[in-house]
Amino acid sequence: MTLSVDLYFSFRSPYSYLALPKTLKLVEEYDLTVNLRPVYPLAVRVPGFFKKANPQLIHYIVLDSSRVAQREDIPFRFPRPNPIVQDLTTLEVAAEQPYIHRLTRLGAMAQLEGCALPFTYAIARTLWDGSVDGWNEGDHLARAAEKAGFDLARMDAAIEADPDRYEQVIAGNEKDHAAAGHWGVPTFVFEKEPFFGQDRIDLLVWRMQGKGLTRR
């Protein structure tokens, strides 16, 4: 029997990106479906979150995500530009957020088409693997989308014609994410049980094996 797990993902989260290679390997090795469900990052979902957090938090995330990438041999560099428009000195988040809204809506569209995991991995690598400066310019995203079997121009046009449709998908994802018992990303949810962080994938596999997870 094919098991199913939800993965709540943010394009701004380094740990979300770092979870993707292991997630793809799980799908390849096990009789498992992963439903990737994009959500907005905390900077958007919870206004003022980072201004209220310990100022050491961002420095630690930068340090820790970099060493996780080194250990796992995952190409990694923080995106240029940042998917969130934010003053990293004051931690003020801008009211207008063109990058993260576009990315998350694109992910929601791929979710509706049942291909969110491969699409998101292709796009996330363009942001995070360090091979591209100005990922938002030129044809970087278009080429990434094409690798996953998508036409970016068609996607952008559909989203521009009916943005509320995709915002409703995102809002539904965020509601279910919260109902599952966590707020952070990446969060895997299996049978209503949350597993937060890319470092909980092994624990998730253990739980699913107890529920009949089998290798392909």
Taking only the tens place, the pLDDT of each residue in 17-42 is 999 999 999 999 999 999 999 999 99
Mean pLDDT of 185-205: 98
pLDDT band for 48, please (50, 70, 90 cuts): confident
Rounded to an integer, what distance in angstroms lies between the CA atom of residue 14 and that of residue 2?
Answer: 29
Taking only the tens place, the pLDDT of each residue in 140-184 is 999 999 999 999 999 999 999 999 999 999 999 999 999 999 999
199 or 46, higher pLDDT? 199
In a domain, 178, yes or no: yes
In a domain, 70, yes or no: yes
In a domain, 215, yes or no: no
Asked whether 205 and 214 are in contact (CB, 8 A), the reply is no
Distance from the Cα of residue 190 to its chain's centroid: 17
Mean pLDDT of the chain: 96
CATH classification at residue 196: 3.40.30.10
The pLDDT value recorded for residue 88 is: 77
In a domain, 62, yes or no: yes
What's this model's pTM, rounded to 2 decimal places? 0.96
Number of domains in the chain: 1
Full domain range(s) for residue 99:
3-209
In Å, how far are 10, 62, 68, 133, 180 from 173, measured between CA atoms? 11, 26, 27, 30, 11
